[in-house]
Chains A and B, each alone.
Chain A
Amino acid sequence: MSNGEHIRVEELELLALGALPEVEAAALHAHLSGCEQCAATLAEARGNAALLAFAAKQDKPAGTIKAELMARIRANREAEARSAWPAKSREVEGEGHTRAQADSGGGWWNWVLVPAAVVLALVSLALSWQNRRIAAELERERKAAEAMVHDREQIEKLVGVLAAPDTVTVKLAGTADAANSSGIVKFNAKAGIVLYAADLPALPKDKSYQMWLVPVNGAPISAGLIGPGGHAWGSMWTAEVPANTRAKAFAVTVEPLGGTPQPTGPKVLLGAA
């Protein structure tokens, strides 16, 4: 993921484009929060990516949008002024000669009521506009919440493995069938497995990649499917294996869609623990 201390520019460019899966992006952000140099490179990459906005067909918004915007900000200004007014009034009263006492009663009320009516009208306009938005947003939020719960569970599992002090790292190398592929396994006998696989070849639709843990004693244990139907999350996957299993090696094989109880197909990634 990183080259020495800093994140590679290529990865920051993908991050700036929003082209990294959430888990990978989260891992980079953890580094970025403490690295000014990478943050500056990311800011520049974001600037370059933002220029792609110029590739869009240029169009003009309706004139009413600006009118509504200006109405909203005036309502905002009036509301701010209104909320500040009572404090000012109390301040003057404290000095023993209120402005209300100095002015005639009718003039004072006109000064307050007319702007207040304007404020109320503008606030009503803004509220009605907000109400329309809220109804649509509620439905979107409900669906987003479901996705977020799933994502959070995955992140918790991932962090549980990555943060455990006794987690071990195993590098996986591509076999002759996938010479350009590589992978990294983070394995914790109690918390689970995280696999980061890079450049796996595309599979036919009737095949799945399946990850295996080869224990010190006994037959290989399936650690789940990789890709569609598995615990996929970008190019990272999490899996669980029986607690306290001692691993001798890890492998990824090509299997029939849905996986098999024991490995049958060619290995594409392999590494000794």
Chain B
Amino acid sequence: MLARIGQRDEEALSALYDRYSGLVFSEAKRILRDTGAAEEILQDLFYQVWRTAERFDPAKGSLAGWLLVAARNRAISRLRRKSAKNEEFDEKGVTLKIDVESYAAQSLLLDKVRAVMGNLPENQREALECAYFEGMSHTEIAEKTGQPLGTVKTRIRSAMEALKKVLS
């Protein structure tokens, strides 16, 4: 599909958008809590895919993973009033070891990730969400929660381990 986008095939971009726009938009909206800003990030991201598809090297990572990471980074930059940098495709590899391509796979993954998050102890979920969805560093989380830095790191690590275990 990416090769077709690189050859300026609008239908391929349309299909890619249909496949991932919901995920990308929902992620950006969760971070920004602003529908308009999330839609702006969504559109910019797919426009970048259109313009630079030929630079993406599938050997270096997953396009779906890149879309999710790039959307998150841009949303966090905007949230924290930092100047956003447009990630080049080949700048940061993202390896997804799980299928997210089909709607069925996405649906299954939604259930799994929600189950993991639902089963995490409250303090682990809070630490993970502060980091991923609010862009807080571990020291900021420690200050917010009043917990020692080491405790915050342990909570994040434990939460990520739980996530990896279920997904594997």
Closest residue on chain B to residue A61 by CB atoms: B25
In angstroms, how far is the closest chain B Cβ from the Cβ of A126? 10
Find chain A residues with CB under 8 A from B83 CB.
140-141, 144-145, 148
Question: CA separation between A198 and B24, bound complex, in Å?
Answer: 35
Q: A50 with B51: in contact, given A66-B17, A73-B13 (CB under 8 Å)?
A: no
Find chain B residues with CB under 8 A from A60 CB.
21-22, 25
A79-103: contact bitstring with B at CB < 8 Å (1 yes, 0 no)? 0000000000000000000000000
- Using a CB-CB cutoff of 8 Å, which residues 14-69 of chain B contact chain A? 14, 17, 21-27, 29-30, 35, 38-40, 42-43, 46-47, 50-51, 60-62, 65, 68-69
- B72 x A198 contact (CB < 8 A): no
Question: CA separation between A57 and B26, bound complex, in Å?
Answer: 6
Question: CA separation between A235 and B42, bound complex, in Å?
Answer: 34
- A58 x B137 contact (CB < 8 A): no
Find chain B residues with CB under 8 A from A17 CB.
128, 131-132, 156, 160
Q: A61 with B157: in contact, given A46-B93, A140-B78 (CB under 8 Å)?
A: no
- B138 x A20 contact (CB < 8 A): yes
A26-50: contact bitstring with B at CB < 8 Å (1 yes, 0 no)? 0000000000000110111011111
- B43 x A68 contact (CB < 8 A): yes
B80-112: contact bitstring with A at CB < 8 Å (1 yes, 0 no)? 011100000000111111101000001001101
Find chain B residues with CB under 8 A from A199 CB.
148-150
Chain A interface extent, by class: 35 or more
- A47 x B25 contact (CB < 8 A): no
Find chain B residues with CB under 8 A from A50 CB.
65, 68-69, 72, 94, 96
In angstroms, how far is the closest chain B Cβ from the Cβ of A43? 4
Question: CA separation between A19 and B139, bound complex, in Å?
Answer: 8
Question: CA separation between A52 and B112, bound complex, in Å?
Answer: 11
Q: A198 with B149: in contact, given A13-B157, A74-B10 (CB under 8 Å)?
A: yes
> How many pairs of residues, A versus B, come closer than 8 Å at their CB atoms?
187
Question: CA separation between A59 and B35, bound complex, in Å?
Answer: 10
B164 sits at the interface (CB 8 A): yes
Find chain A residues with CB under 8 A from B14 CB.
66, 70
Find chain B residues with CB under 8 A from A18 CB.
72-73, 76, 131-132, 135, 137
A114 sits at the interface (CB 8 A): no
Question: CA separation between A39 and B150, bound complex, in Å?
Answer: 25
Find chain A residues with CB under 8 A from B132 CB.
17-18, 49, 52
Q: A55 with B141: in contact, given A73-B10, A76-B50 (CB under 8 Å)?
A: no
A163 sits at the interface (CB 8 A): no
Question: CA separation between A74 and B14, bound complex, in Å?
Answer: 12
Q: B10, B95, B150: which contacts A180 (Cβ < 8 A)?
A: B150
Question: CA separation between A143 and B69, bound complex, in Å?
Answer: 24
Question: CA separation between A53 and B73, bound complex, in Å?
Answer: 12
B2 sits at the interface (CB 8 A): no
User: A43-B93, A57-B30, A76-B50 known; 12 other A-B pairs, CB under 8 Å?
Assistant: A14-B153, A21-B137, A47-B62, A47-B95, A47-B97, A48-B97, A51-B100, A57-B26, A59-B26, A62-B35, A77-B10, A140-B83
Question: Which residue numbers of A lie inside 8 Å of B, CB to CB?
Answer: 10, 13-14, 17-21, 39-40, 42-44, 46-62, 65-66, 68-70, 72-74, 76-77, 133, 140-141, 143-145, 147-148, 180, 198-202, 228, 234-235
Shortest 9 CB-CB distances between A and B: which pairs? A56-B30, A43-B93, A54-B113, A53-B27, A19-B131, A199-B150, A50-B68, A47-B96, A43-B95
